[in-house]
Amino acid sequence: MADLNTRLKEAQDVAANPKKMMAQYLKAGKKVVGCMAMYTPEPIVHASGMIPMGLWGGQVEQKVVKTYMPAFACPIMQSCLELGLRGSYEGLSAAVIPTLCDVFRCVTQDWNVAIDIPVIPLTYPQHRQLEESIAFLVSELETVKGKLEKICGHAITDDAINASIDLYNQHAAAMRTFAKVANDHLDVITPEVRHAVFKSALFMERGEHLALMNDIIEGLKALPVYKHTGKKVVLTGITAEPDDFLAALSGNGVAVVADDLGQEMRQYRTEMPAGANPLERIARQWQNRTGDPLAHSPTNERGEMLVEMVKENGADGVIVCLMKFCDPEEYDFPLIHGSLKEAGVPTLSLDIDQQPNKYEQAKNRVQAFVEML
Ligand code: SF4
């Protein structure tokens, strides 16, 4: 087993260089399929033998994209499209794009018109508890599977998808274990390192990442428990990037002890249940998601869930990483803020952007927040 530091460094390198990972897979003769944030049905891609590669944008000046999107579209989708328009995704055999909000819908069409990589759109139903929703989503997934089969050139069998689902579930369990074990080692697992470990999963074949996680977990368990004396927070939102933003936390002695981030733990909270039909297993996972602004719920599950996360992890407060112009997150904010306030949990909301930004203001606001805790 490689030592802990080597494995953590590997995760940080992968998180910082997704393009390098894509080049490695292409060089090895693999086809690579872009999986747009969030909730693309990756096990179907994985079962085809192609590599699912996360598309989560990046820190990039948004210029060309202005021809296709209004300035008030969320920065993550703007940067994904900007990178696509600049040719950064060349080499992908296709891009799967779920339509989870209005911006996603526009992106599927913009991509279709402007980027020379086939797009595979997918609609998630929002009346999730109806059985008709399951039937609808299974039919959507059948369409995705059919399009992927044309690209990989062979049938994607139920057995192969079930095996990939089992691997993804195993990996999700490892990520949950990591999140717990990391809290005993907040000297090693700083906010930046924690984020890199989660982010690296988006750009590695799932079995390879599971092996990486097993080494990291074992390495951490072998260390003596570290007592963190600074403040602890829970993060919620779509992403908590870039590292400059996270440096505002670590620079003020703040540790991240749990998260409800779309790019991180939201991906791993809900497993795909057992069943014979693999596409129905994926559809049932969507039905079972809770506390997620992208998966409609008639109750304020997310607010209650955040209060529980604070209690369970001994956190001092919650930082809402509010993706600029993200309607689903903004609509949720008054609800979650209300629950946290009622429970006496201090909350700070900070804007997340994906354009080069120094985050000086965030540093000051985190410092003031920490002084209040
Ligand atoms: S959910 Fe929010 S961040 Fe994601 S695409 Fe929609 S508006 Fe953008």
Q: Which CATH architecture group holds 21-154?
A: 3-Layer(aba) Sandwich (3.40)
Q: Closest Cα to atom 4, ligand 1: which residue?
A: 326
Helix (H, G, I), strand (E, B) or coil at 14: helix
Q: What spacing in Å lies between the alpha carbon of 146 and ligand 1's midpoint? A: 27
User: If we measure between CA atoms, which residue out of 282, 296, 276 comes closest to residue 138?
Assistant: 282
Ligand 1 atom closest to the Cα of residue 37 is 4
Q: What spacing in Å lies between the alpha carbon of 158 and ligand 1's midpoint? A: 31
Q: What spacing in Å lies between the alpha carbon of 133 and ligand 1's midpoint? A: 22
349 Cα distance to chain centroid: 19
Q: What spacing in Å lies between the alpha carbon of 1 and ligand 1's midpoint? A: 39
User: If we measure between CA atoms, which residue out of 346, 362, 325, 347 comes closest to residue 69?
Assistant: 325
Predicted pLDDT of residue 9: 98
Q: What spacing in Å lies between the alpha carbon of 324 and ligand 1's midpoint? A: 9
Helix (H, G, I), strand (E, B) or coil at 128: coil
Q: Provide the H-helix boundaries in 127-266.
A: 131-152, 158-182, 191-200, 206-221, 243-250
Ligand 1 within 6 A of CB of 238: yes
Q: Closest Cα to atom 6, ligand 1: which residue?
A: 101
Ligand 1 atom closest to the Cα of residue 327 is 7
Q: What spacing in Å lies between the alpha carbon of 329 and ligand 1's midpoint? A: 8
Domain residue ranges in the chain: 21-154
By most ligand atoms within 8 Å of CB, the mutation choice from 36, 62, 76 for ligand 1 is 76
By most ligand atoms within 8 Å of CB, the mutation choice from 326, 329, 331 for ligand 1 is 326
Are 171 and 232 contacting, i.e. CB atoms less than 8 angstroms apart? no
Give average pLDDT by consecutive 10-residue segment, the chain, 373 residues. 90 96 97 95 98 93 89 92 95 96 90 94 93 96 98 98 98 98 98 98 98 98 96 97 90 96 97 96 97 91 96 97 93 95 96 77 89 90
Taking the alpha carbons at both ends of the chain, their separation in whole angstroms is 41
Angstrom distance (rounded) from CA 237 to CA 234 = 10
Ligand 1 within 6 A of CB of 328: yes
Q: What spacing in Å lies between the alpha carbon of 72 and ligand 1's midpoint? A: 11
Q: What is the DSSP string of 323-337?
A: ETT-HHHHHHHHHHH
User: If we measure between CA atoms, which residue out of 210, 264, 214 comes closest to residue 238?
Assistant: 264
Q: Count the Cβ atoms, other than its own, within 10 Å of residue 283.
A: 26
279 Cα distance to chain centroid: 21
